[in-house]
Structure 1
Amino acid sequence: MDKELNNLIIDKNCTVKQAIKRLDDTAKKILFVANDGKAEGTITDGDVRRWILKNGSLDADVTNIMNTNFSYALYDEEEKIQEIFSGGIIFAIPILDVDYKIIDIKFVERVVNSVKKERAQLNTKVVIMAGGKGTRLYPYTQILPKPLIPIGEKTILEHILSRFNNYGCVDFLLTLNYKKGMIKSYLEDIESPYNFSYIEESDFYGTAGSLSLLRGKLTETFFVTNCDILIDARYDEIIAHHKANKNQITLVTSLTTYTIPYGVVITKDEGEVCALSEKPEYSFQINTGVYVLEPEVLEDIPSNVFFHITDLIEIYLEQGKKVGTFPIRSGQWLDMGDLHLMEDMIEKIDRIDN
């Protein structure tokens, strides 16, 4: 087995944190759990997300999250491999020898002429916050508005539109301000299946202030996204999770681990040292800038004032209104908020798309 495939196999004694890092590194969205080489289970993004939502420890071993009821085939069962993939649900299976040790991994695109399984088609409107100046991306944004900055062969805006359209979204509302004429002209010139509406700010209203201009225009659950990020996630699952939990607002969050690059000294009274922690790691759920909102939320956003969506979330938390999260891995979140991150996005986007 080559190194790429071997990286998809993880020992049963590994931690959830290690599994998440491996999923990020391989970008294959699945791992196979083994004990002395024998297949014992699989781990996908969904397994990780359910564990995070339960506040499960990232230091727990992967047996807590793995799926033990998984499909597999023996090395000489070619017809079974075809049969498993023909169902259109499973995209990767381990190939086992007579001792049930993993000797290969087959992916659907390498076995049958199928690109991707059919995705659920949503009829959900998407609000794209595209009015900011993008000051962190100067000097690029002194010439182009942030939504039109190229990432590879397409603008960041087109990447965002395409990802939502993969799940059937065709109605997009763009909040505009900075270089709004350039954005509108660009969208009018491209051939696309999308329907565009524009909400033009008379001043800069923050990440939520312009949403007040949408009162009466949105009557069903809708997405809101910043125009400088991409997420590699199941948009249908995000909506389903939001509705199942009856949230007013759902934040798509990225589970991110930060390592303090120094030894941390822990003290007690009068500065007496009680412990040392060398380069400790801490895990956080970071706000990606993608949300799902209920239409009544628009009534709670003040008009014609600078107002961030985080301000609204703080108010809702104080009022006891339900705000939830849909966690994804850090590798599923691409941000181009500054020049360094933009270069990183360009490097990673082809690997995720392919």
Structure 2
Amino acid sequence: MVKTIILCGGQGTRLREETEYRPKPMVEIGGKPILWHIMKLYAHHAFDDFILALGYRGHMIKEYFLQYRAMNSDFSIRVGSEHDIRFHDDENEEVFQATLAETGLHTMTGGRVLRAAKYVDDDTFMMTYGDGVADLNIADLMRFHKSHGKLATITTMRPMSRLGELEIDSNGIVNQFAEKPQSKAWASAGFFVLNRGVLDLIDGDDCVFEKEPLERLARDRQLCAYRHEGAFYAMDTYREFIFLNQLWDQGKAPWKVW
């Protein structure tokens, strides 16, 4: 079974309004943690075995899963000497398997991957961040990775510009204005597929995965890009938190493929 490492240990300082008292993966969209949305996406494509790399306020993620069934089901309870709980699960109950791994409060992204990898059994595993959602076909991503034979696959997308773009002629006249256009460049969306050989490029807790490991893979021509033309949203700011909740509440969340 291919496992997926989800990095859940960052402090989410740019979303301090929501992360002051809880880890970013537990910030909710539509009443469910964004971590749940990410896991639902993978599970929809039959990848339902996860390793959660914990750090900042990781105990809250542990508590969420320890209480998961009670918090997501109706149940009847008998209190007293014959204490008993009977759950009333519906047919849409999720089935996840998750290993919750403490990876250190100040460990960098590469170090978290390396620490979590002790629970990886196969030569191939997946990794992503605990704050981004997409309408990504995970099965197609895996097929792409297996087709090229390189050590790593990174999912890429065309980001939307945060600023309006203007086309200006030599006289200073604006010929065209585009509000937050889609960039022509490709950027990382996370959602990696990795072979175990990638772990040899991580030299400890202080290793930033997006620096030396990915740079080395690119130099060695061992990194392939899976081009995702669909939707991708990272929840980095309070404004993005509000936007993602609005999409969900309006029934317009493109990542809801299940």
- Whichever residue aligns with residue 334 of structure 1, its letter is Y
TM-score, structure 2 normalization: 0.77
Contact 2:144 2:226 in 1 (8 A): yes
Give the structure, 1 or 2, with the largest relative contact order (CA under 8 Å, sep 6 or more).
2
Aligned to 2:108: 206
1:1-354 to 2 correspondences below 5 Å:
123-191=1-69, 192-218=94-120, 219-256=122-159, 258=161, 261-264=165-168, 278-279=176-177, 282-318=183-219, 320-329=220-229, 331-349=230-248, 350-351=251-252, 352=254, 353=256
Cα deviation for residue 278 of structure 1 reads: 4.8
Q: Deviations over 1:243-292 (max 9, x none)?
A: 101121111111235475334568xxxxxx9xx97558751112112211
1:174–1:196 contact (8 Å) kept in structure 2 = yes
DSSP-derived class of the 1:193 partner: coil
Would the alpha carbon gap of residues 220 and 277 (structure 1) be closer, same or farther in structure 2, given more than 3 Å must change?
Answer: farther
Instruction: Count matched residues.
Output: 223
Are 1:249 and 1:322, in contact at CA under 8 Å, matched by a contact in 2?
yes
Distance change in 2, residues 1:173/1:163 (3 Å): same
Say which one has the larger Rg: 1
**What is the RMSD of the two structures over their aligned residues, measured on CA atoms?**
2.5
Contact 2:51 2:119 in 1 (8 A): no
CA contact (8 A) 1:251 1:289 kept: yes
Q: Is the contact made by 1:209 and 1:307 (CA closer than 8 Å) also made in structure 2?
A: yes
Question: In structure 2, what is the Cα distance between the partners aligned to 1:230 and 1:341?
Answer: 12
Shift of 1:134: 0.8
Determine if contact 1:229/1:336 at 8 Å carries over to the other structure.
Answer: yes
Question: Which residue identity lines up with residue 58 of structure 2 in the other structure?
Answer: K
Specify whether residues 165 and 215 from structure 1 end up closer, same or farther in structure 2 by C-alpha distance, changes over 3 A only: closer
Counterpart secondary structure, 1:284: coil
> Could you tell me how far 1:306 is from its partner in structure 2?
3.8
Cα pair distance change 1:181/1:279, threshold 3 Å: same
Structure 1 unaligned regions, length at least 5: 1-122, 267-272
Q: Secondary structure at the match of 1:334?
A: strand
Distance 1:306 1:297 in 2: 13
Q: Summarize the Cα distance change of 1:264–1:247 in structure 2 as closer, same or farther, 3 Å threshold.
A: farther
Query: Structure 2, unaligned stretches of length 5 or more?
Result: 70-93
Spell out, residue by residue over 1:227-247, the C-alpha distance to the aligned partner (whole angstroms, 9 max, x if none).
111111211100000110112
1:28-85 Cα deviation digits (max 9, x unpaired): xxxxxxxxxxxxxxxxxxxxxxxxxxxxxxxxxxxxxxxxxxxxxxxxxxxxxxxxxx
Residue deviations 1:293-331, cap 9 Å, x none?
11121122112324233431111222x2321111113x5
Structure-1-length-normalised TM-score = 0.58
Structure with greater helix share of residues: 1
For residues 98-137 of structure 1, give each alpha carbon's deviation from its aligned partner in whole angstroms, at most 9, with x where no partner exists. Answer: xxxxxxxxxxxxxxxxxxxxxxxxx321100000011111
